[in-house]
């Protein structure tokens, strides 16, 4: 069923610091067409693609909204709703309800003139408290968290990209609703694939994924990880400076760190070659590499900061090959 865009809302996961970081906001905007506010709520164009999200957890049809909890209850009491077999849950995003969470759920359920069904609800409602507003919506979509099994991949190293981050990065290059079309599954390459974190997420979403790593040990580990989950092991031992595999999009975590200083020196050559392999690219680096990307022929560069709990910052660059 189609709903007016103004009625569709997405709720994002917040980080341990209780903030919405750049990557979360970008993934939400890519998947839903809406950018989340500071509390992680976005007014959306669609919620159809939330199932594949890393950080967008729920898509809803907003039913009612009011500045106070009492006003919200009054609005619900007067609304003609068709929600038989409903259940209400609550989510505190900012501040507190004027009553306990359980009391708020009971109060909302009591003013909805429909039959409740806690055990097997057909309509799942979410009561949300934000700063200065209260609203309730019906859940239409939820993230499947299909990246979770990849947390137990058989081969990994200390610098392996986390599965959740890898999923969000892949989502940045796949157009909304594209994966719903059987003939539109695209291709993706990772020229510095390591143990295959990005390839696993691309394959899980139905993309044809190709990987390369110049370290033969890493290439073998990536192959083993893909095979472990039943995905085609399209990985070769090759140097990203000369690899020739093309695709619709490129997503990679380029070498960086003290132990990889020599690899960092190779970055300009890696970028120059990769600019010929895919028109859209996402590069993760330990610093802002916008000047190097520009020199390699990229334009329209977005830089997203991704701060880990230990304070280490990764820089995610989304860029397109500049028209010549």
**pLDDT of amino acid 159:** 83
| Other C-beta atoms lying within 10 Å of the C-beta of residue 99 | 12
Residue spans of alpha helices (H) in 112-248? 163-171, 197-204, 216-228
Between CA 127 and CA 180 the distance in angstroms is 30
> How many domains is the chain partitioned into structurally?
2
Domain that holds residue 68: 5-142
**pLDDT of amino acid 53:** 97
Question: For the segment 49-70, what is each residue's pLDDT rounded down to a tens digit?
Answer: 999 999 999 999 999 999 999 9
User: Is residue 66 domain-shared with residue 161, that is, in the same domain?
Assistant: no
Question: For the segment 151-174, what is each residue's pLDDT rounded down to a tens digit?
Answer: 999 999 988 899 999 999 999 998
Predicted model pTM: 0.91
What is the crossing angle of helices 22-32 and 163-171, to 10°?
Answer: 50
User: Is residue 162 domain-shared with residue 261, that is, in the same domain?
Assistant: yes
User: Is residue 49 domain-shared with residue 163, that is, in the same domain?
Assistant: no
Of 142, 164, 183, the residue at which a domain comes to its end is 142
Q: Could you tell me which residues come within 8 angstroms of residue 251 by beta carbon, excluding any fewer than 6 positions away?
A: 169, 170, 172, 173, 188, 189, 190, 198, 202, 281, 282
User: Is residue 73 domain-shared with residue 25, that is, in the same domain?
Assistant: yes
User: Is residue 59 domain-shared with residue 198, that is, in the same domain?
Assistant: no
Place of tokens 């594949």: 52
User: Is residue 179 domain-shared with residue 199, that is, in the same domain?
Assistant: yes
Of 142, 160, 176, the residue at which a domain comes to its end is 142
Among the listed residues 98, 61, 63, 92, the one whose alpha carbon sits nearest the alpha carbon of residue 80: 63
Which parts of the chain register pLDDT below 50?
A: 1-5, 178-184, 258-259, 324
Cα distances from 259 to residues 65, 196, 264, in angstroms, run: 53, 20, 10
Among the listed residues 119, 171, 118, the one whose alpha carbon sits nearest the alpha carbon of residue 12: 171
User: Is residue 62 domain-shared with residue 116, that is, in the same domain?
Assistant: yes
CATH number at 59 reads 3.30.2130.30
Of 142, 170, 201, the residue at which a domain comes to its end is 142
User: Is residue 95 domain-shared with residue 173, that is, in the same domain?
Assistant: no
């Amino acid at each position: 069923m189609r709903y007016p865009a103004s009625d569709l809302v997405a709720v994002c996961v917040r980080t341990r610091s209780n903030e919405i970081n750049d990557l979360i906001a970008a993934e939400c905007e890519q998947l839903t067409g809406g950018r989340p506010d500071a509390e992680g709520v976005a007014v959306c164009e669609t919620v159809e693609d939330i199932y594949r999200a890393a950080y967008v957890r729920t898509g809803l049809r907003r039913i009612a909204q009011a500045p106070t909890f009492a006003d919200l209850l009054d609005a619900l009491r007067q609304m003609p709703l068709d929600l038989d077999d409903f259940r209400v849950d609550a989510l505190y995003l900012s501040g507190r309800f004027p009553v306990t969470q359980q009391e708020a759920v009971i109060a909302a359920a009591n003013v909805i003139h429909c039959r409740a069904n806690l055990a097997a609800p057909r309509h799942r409602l979410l009561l949300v408290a934000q700063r200065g507003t209260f609203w309730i919506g019906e859940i239409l979509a939820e993230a499947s968290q299909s990246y979770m099994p990849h947390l137990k991949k058989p081969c990994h190293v200390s610098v392996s990209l986390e599965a959740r981050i890898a999923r969000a990065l892949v989502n940045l290059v796949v157009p909304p609703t594209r994966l719903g079309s059987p003939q539109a599954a695209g291709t993706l390459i990772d020229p510095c694939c390591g143990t295959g974190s990005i390839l696993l997420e691309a394959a899980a979403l139905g993309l044809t994924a190709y990987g390369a790593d110049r370290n033969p040990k890493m290439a073998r580990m990536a192959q083993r990880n893909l095979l472990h989950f039943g995905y085609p092991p399209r990985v070769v031992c090759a140097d990203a400076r000369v690899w020739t595999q093309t695709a619709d999009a490129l997503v990679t975590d380029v070498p960086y760190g003290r132990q990889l200083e020599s690899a960092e020196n190779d970055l300009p050559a890696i970028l120059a070659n990769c600019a010929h392999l895919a028109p859209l690219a996402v590069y993760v680096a330990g610093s802002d590499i916008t000047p190097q990307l520009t020199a390699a022929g990229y334009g329209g560069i977005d830089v997203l900061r991704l701060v880990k709990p230990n304070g280490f910052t990764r820089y995610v660059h989304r860029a397109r090959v500049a028209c010549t």
